[in-house]
Structure 1
Amino acid sequence: MLVEVQSWPYAFPESQDFPKWDQRGNVSGRLLVKERYISDDYISAKGAYVGLASPGDIGSWQRESKNYQFWAKADDDGYFCISNIRTGDYNVYAWVPGFIGDYKYDVVVTITEGSDIDIGDLVYEPPRDGPTLWEIGIPDRSAAEFYVPDPNPKYINKLYVNHPDKFRQYGLWERYAELYPDKDLIFTVGVSDYTKDWFFAQVTRKKDDNTYQGTTWQIKFQLSNVNKNSTYKLRLALASATFSELQVRVNDPKVNHPLFSSGLIGRDNSIARHGIHGLYWLYNVDISGAKFVEGDNTIFLTQARGNNPFLAIMYDYIRLEGPPIFNKKI
């Protein structure tokens, strides 16, 4: 297999649609991260996924399916090399494990036959307004770090017994109602452990009449010294969504109009396909300080759509940021 990988692109195809290795080009460079609330220095984009795809918006490579893409993984110092690229115009895209959001290099890169382009140092500034008040999960575009239950004994796939990919077992969506028969999930910051107390997917709940309804999860946390005149930021990174609608309410679950609604999103079907991620979504929700109180607060996350067991959201990472600190070094 390794011999075949290193032999690509092959020399034997005679089609003009398959350029030989010397008719392609290469791109290299280094990706750095600038995150002023973590470090005053640049951070190496260790393990970043860097790729060339058709020119488009940030993150458009996820949905672009008609043209070619070429990707590589950066080393520990953020250096990358993408080889054997077909001629044409591309944007450079990237995402970095450990940081939310997507990177795009705004300059169009033109690949010609035999070109070897060094684009130098690129700097990604992830979305960030203020200091982290609390966070849930790991920003890696996967829900694998959350609680994945053991399967119903009737449905066990023996190929995945004692396997790290527990999520590949059939019927895990049904375990949610068994674990939370009367009330939906409640996560208390500073007390709960997301590896044990955050179900890997916000699925629907099956009712007695065999219909399904959406669910509302709660994140409980404490705040001191609330700045009523400032804006807080809730970052919601989703690893997957299937015909879902995510609604956000703060301290009042019954208010008619949510503070935020995603609208109908997603067609991944990751739950039914026993996956742990699909397309990535990132929502940045402004929350007025006036909506918070000193002491106990609750954020309500509602997946509002029902109808079947596979309408669901998988969270990647959630973070609440406080108001900006303007004297923080940049």
Structure 2
Amino acid sequence: MGLSVIALSLAALPFVAAGGPFLQQTSNNTWIIGNDLWNITQGSIYGIKLYYQGKDAIGKAAGHYVGADGENNLVWESASIVNEGNDFIDVSFVSEKGDLHWVIYDDLAGSYQYFVNRALGDISILRSLFRLDPDRFPNGRTYLKDEPLPSFQSILDGTKVQDETFETSDGTYITKYDWSNYVRDRDFNGVYGPSTGSWYIHPSTDYFSGNHLKQTLTVHRESSTGDAVQLNVVQDTSHFQTQVTTTQPSGKIWGPWLWYLNDGSITDAKQKFQEELAKWPYSWVNDTAYHSRGAVSGTLKLSDGRVAAGAAVFLGDSDIQAPLAQGVNYYYTSYADASGRFSFSNVRTGQYGLYAWSNGGKIGDVYTNYTKSGINVKGNTKLSTLTWSVPSNERVFQIGDFDKKTTGFIESGPYHHGLAAQSPANFTYTVGKSNTSDWYYASSNLGTWNVEFDVATLEKSSARLIVSLAGYSQSTALTISSNGAVLGSLSKDNVTTDAATYRSGTVSGEWHQFVYPVSNLKQGKNVISFTVNRYVLWRGFLWDAIALEWA
């Protein structure tokens, strides 16, 4: 294929018979890209007039654009073909902040995309998205939800109660946050109708920020216009965690991912996802660092002799921010198998830190984390057996598994707005009679939750209470006491806040753990109390696990 850029006045054409992938410049700041199956007109900010199946898939909607930190949309100053093969071209749209690439194949309905940083600086969010014709794309699909998007009229008729959240006349809520999910559990997200589907497929998630618990938005109904929104948030250290910014290195690549068009078939999109998994890493990427990859493997054992079966294992940055907040480099997630063995393949070469924590199950009693720095990935890196230090103190009681999630509690998932407000004000959990499934996922309303337990023999003079939170949204406050004596309090003054609880997050936000010495246990009946003494609607504490052990 000969590399060429054709300058024409074709902005009004619904389709350009190009004989393959093409870039056409129609004015100083307008271009048309596509192939024989589709084409889109790209302006300085918005991509509009997306012709597929003979008609415009965007219509009166906003179209395609890229933004960093809110609506700080990138402005495209030029476009050119920067790479090509026998059956594809790589078109780069250049802005002051970075370059968006469209890799267009002869016979592919859609395009591979990737973004190369130029000067984003400190950011918390980077995203691309399509806002499409709502009549043509009435439904949304993620691995958690597949249903019609809420109607625009229902949003207009509702009452706005907070950020992108509307209460309807029957007391239910409409919010884009109900469509969120965990980025490393995804297969494909998109919007679709009876004849057309538009999908984002990520065969790798190594360019996403954070660890296993990273979650962000996917699809929704735009509340101000009714557009069908297909989101591609590839960097997010904000929506469901304590907001941080990370400094992005020049040349960093997010992607490639596949934007894929079809006839609306979910079965076909699923098959395409599997095909892309087999192709990754993509051979056509013209970047040496992208292709420089290795592997990491090892085995985790606990200091008490057990294997770390099922542990969550994260390969990230060394000696800096907590895993969920990391967002500078590239990140890899896995789980240990039944023998504690873990592995990562196709890891970009470089220096990493290794992190591990309980994901529940056989090691659900483990509340410590494992950390190892200075792992140099170059070729096949085989780590020796790693010993994870865990306390061996006798446990008095435990409620829930230590997995940094609300797993096992009432209303733990899926995403649903307002459930924190339904938490019981007063509640008694009796050790030996109550079950984990009796505990509510969040504490929000004013009142006291008591944990009653019997101590047959005072094993030691003191114990320690481990309180592990899966998230916290201010300004609800909690006082913790043992047999009436205050052990401590948790509030916005000593717990960093995240937005998960009031943004439909019922499983996790930002993880926190606190340890309190307990010296007033007595033989017979004892009570540990958790009293909410300050209340804010939909805010509160997400529970991970609670344990009392002899010190």
Residue 19, structure 1, aligned to residue 290, structure 2: yes
Please, which of 412, 419, 435 is the counterpart of residue 172 of structure 1?
A: 419
| Cα 1:215/1:264, change in 2 over 3 Å | farther
Please, which of 334, 353, 365 is the counterpart of residue 91 of structure 1?
A: 353
Please, which of 310, 322, 329 is the counterpart of residue 550 of structure 2?
A: 322
Q: Report 1:134-173 matches (<5 A).
A: 134-148=397-411, 167-173=414-420
2:333 matched residue in structure 1: 71
Q: CA deviation at 1:167?
A: 4.2
CA distance in 1, matches of 2:336, 2:302: 13
| Cα 1:102/1:4, change in 2 over 3 Å | same
CA distance in 2, matches of 1:226, 1:189: 17
Partner-residue secondary structure (3-state), 1:191: coil
Residue 199, structure 1, aligned to residue 440, structure 2: yes
Partner-residue secondary structure (3-state), 1:3: helix
Q: CA deviation at 1:245?
A: 4.2
Alignment check: 8 A CA contact 1:305 1:311 kept: no
1:234 matched residue in structure 2: 465
Q: Report 1:282-297 matches (<5 A).
A: 282-288=513-519, 291-297=520-526
Partner-residue secondary structure (3-state), 1:91: strand
Partner-residue secondary structure (3-state), 1:173: helix
CA distance in 2, matches of 1:302, 1:129: 29
CA distance in 2, matches of 1:144, 1:134: 17
Alignment check: 8 A CA contact 2:406 2:506 kept: no
Deviation string for 1:28-80 (max 9, x for gaps)?
11111223xxxxxx2222222222111126x8112222222112222221111
CA distance in 1, matches of 2:398, 2:542: 16
The code of the aligned residue for 2:275 comes to: V
The code of the aligned residue for 2:469 comes to: L
CA distance in 1, matches of 2:290, 2:333: 18
Alignment check: 8 A CA contact 1:269 1:310 kept: no
| Cα 1:245/1:175, change in 2 over 3 Å | closer
| Cα 1:117/1:172, change in 2 over 3 Å | same
Q: Report 1:254-273 matches (<5 A).
A: 258-262=486-490, 263-273=494-504
Residue 108, structure 1, aligned to residue 374, structure 2: yes
Q: CA deviation at 1:27?
A: 1.0
The code of the aligned residue for 2:290 comes to: P
Partner-residue secondary structure (3-state), 2:473: strand
1:189 matched residue in structure 2: 431
2:506 matched residue in structure 1: 275
Partner-residue secondary structure (3-state), 2:507: coil
| Cα 1:48/1:194, change in 2 over 3 Å | closer
Q: CA deviation at 1:141?
A: 2.2
Alignment check: 8 A CA contact 1:221 1:296 kept: yes
CA distance in 2, matches of 1:270, 1:170: 8
Partner-residue secondary structure (3-state), 1:267: coil
Q: CA deviation at 1:117?
A: 0.9
Alignment check: 8 A CA contact 1:101 1:282 kept: no
Residue 299, structure 1, aligned to residue 528, structure 2: yes
CA distance in 2, matches of 1:60, 1:264: 15
1:151 matched residue in structure 2: none
| Cα 1:264/1:94, change in 2 over 3 Å | closer
* Structure 1 length-normalised TM: 0.74
Alignment check: 8 A CA contact 2:469 2:543 kept: yes
1:210 matched residue in structure 2: none
Deviation string for 1:142-198 (max 9, x for gaps)?
2131123xxxxxxxxxxxxxxxx754344323333xxx4xx51221212222313x1
Residue 312, structure 1, aligned to residue 544, structure 2: no
CA distance in 2, matches of 1:305, 1:88: 47
Q: CA deviation at 1:3?
A: 2.8
Partner-residue secondary structure (3-state), 2:526: strand
Residue 220, structure 1, aligned to residue 449, structure 2: no
Partner-residue secondary structure (3-state), 1:44: coil
1:158 matched residue in structure 2: none
Alignment check: 8 A CA contact 2:501 2:509 kept: yes
1:249 matched residue in structure 2: 481
Q: Could you tell me the percent identity over the aligned residues?
A: 25
**Cα RMSD between the aligned structures?**
2.3
| Cα 1:270/1:12, change in 2 over 3 Å | farther
Q: CA deviation at 1:139?
A: 2.1
CA distance in 1, matches of 2:319, 2:479: 28
Q: CA deviation at 1:4?
A: 1.3
Partner-residue secondary structure (3-state), 1:11: coil
Residue 28, structure 1, aligned to residue 297, structure 2: yes
Please, which of 105, 120, 123 is the counterpart of residue 387 of structure 2?
A: 123
Counting matched residue pairs gives 270
* Structure 2 length-normalised TM: 0.46
Alignment check: 8 A CA contact 1:144 1:276 kept: yes
CA distance in 2, matches of 1:230, 1:237: 23
CA distance in 2, matches of 1:170, 1:321: 35
Larger gyration radius, structure 1 or structure 2: 2
Please, which of 47, 61, 68 is the counterpart of residue 310 of structure 2?
A: 47
The code of the aligned residue for 2:370 comes to: Y
Alignment check: 8 A CA contact 1:245 1:265 kept: no
| Cα 1:280/1:101, change in 2 over 3 Å | farther
Alignment check: 8 A CA contact 2:316 2:353 kept: yes
Q: Where do 5+ consecutive residues of structure 1 fail to align?
A: 36-41, 149-164, 206-213, 324-330
2:282 matched residue in structure 1: 10
| Cα 1:270/1:173, change in 2 over 3 Å | closer
The code of the aligned residue for 2:369 comes to: D
The code of the aligned residue for 1:234 comes to: L
